[in-house]
Amino acid sequence: MNRSLIFDIGCHIGEDSEFYLKKGFHVVAVEANPALCVILRKRFVKEIIEGRFVLVEKAIAERDGQVEFFVNKASIWGTIRSHMAERNAAAGAESTKISVPSTRFRSLIEQFGMPYYLKVDIEGADHLCLEGLQSFSDRPMYASIEVDQSSVFEMHQSVKLFKQTGYTRFQIVNQGLVPLVRSPNPASEGQYAPHEFPEGATGTFGKELPGEWITETQSRLEFVKIFARNKLDGLSKKAPGLKMLRSRVPGSWYDLHGALPAELENSQYHSPS
């Protein structure tokens, strides 16, 4: 594992990469939307020249080559999954289908080595990255994915996949609250960097997450609560008389963070040859 390396899978316009670079990390960023890649090349031109930011203009997919990619008018909703594009269309956000270069996640590891932290947000294909890790004996110390909230089963599948990949500690982060978070000083990850997280950013990671690490069982129970709360909020919006049931927690999407066993935290790692 390269402790100075972070993978930003689903880089968007660089909200997260900017933070990682400020903290002194090197970043390999993956973005499939060609229009967003133009923005990223301009935004990080200095870091690209310095070799601290590498942009991979491809989609993560099941195979290397080409893949259909649905570019959405809401740029954060770009996806290779047709069912996600259909969901977005039902919400009034239409997509345009294009063809883009694709890569398997394991190909990134083989080319760039194993990162310290793996951040993934690729709209329905996040699990491909965790599945790709299973080909290696090494792992990132920390990883995060966006959670599919369509059912409790899908939420639990995310926990299950993390566990199968070797992660034993978990945090569930309400992404709607991330703009309220501040980078801690002194820093626990990299160097201190004053930073305000924009809406849509993943936020802090690893030892700088504001919550407590919990077990697999606790994570599953928390997802049951979140799903129930979402259902009640939906009912309360349809029936004004049920307004008192509405949650005081802002409606949001959630990221699931996984960490390797605590005893490995200070171990020395090496990238796979």
CATH number at residue 86: 3.40.50.150
Task: Return d(Cα 130, Cα 220) in angstroms, integer.
Answer: 18
Q: Identify which of 134, 124, 141, 148 has the alpha carbon closest to the alpha carbon of residue 32.
A: 124
pLDDT tens-place string over residues 250-272: 557 899 999 999 767 765 443 33
Q: Please state the pTM of the whole predicted model.
A: 0.90
| Domain range enclosing 24 | 2-264
Task: For residue 257, tell me if it sits in a domain.
Answer: yes
Task: For residue 210, tell me if it sits in a domain.
Answer: yes
Task: For residue 106, tell me if it sits in a domain.
Answer: yes
pLDDT value at residue 240: 55
Task: For residue 254, tell me if it sits in a domain.
Answer: yes
pLDDT value at residue 253: 86
pLDDT value at residue 197: 95
Residue 60 vs residues 103, 132, 236: alpha-carbon distances, Å: 5, 10, 38
Total structural domains within the chain: 1
Task: Return d(Cα 14, Cα 215) in angstroms, integer.
Answer: 31
Query: pLDDT > 90: what percent of the chain?
Result: 70
243 pLDDT more than 80: no
Task: For residue 269, tell me if it sits in a domain.
Answer: no
Q: Do 209 and 24 contact (CB within 8 A), yes or no?
A: no
- Which one is predicted more confidently, 74 or 235? 74
pLDDT value at residue 244: 43
20 pLDDT more than 80: yes
pLDDT tens-place string over residues 141-199: 999 999 988 888 888 999 999 999 999 999 999 998 999 999 999 999 999 999 999 99
Task: For residue 156, tell me if it sits in a domain.
Answer: yes
Task: For residue 270, tell me if it sits in a domain.
Answer: no
pLDDT tens-place string over residues 187-231: 999 999 999 999 989 999 999 999 999 999 999 999 999 988 877
97 pLDDT more than 60: yes
Task: For residue 149, tell me if it sits in a domain.
Answer: yes
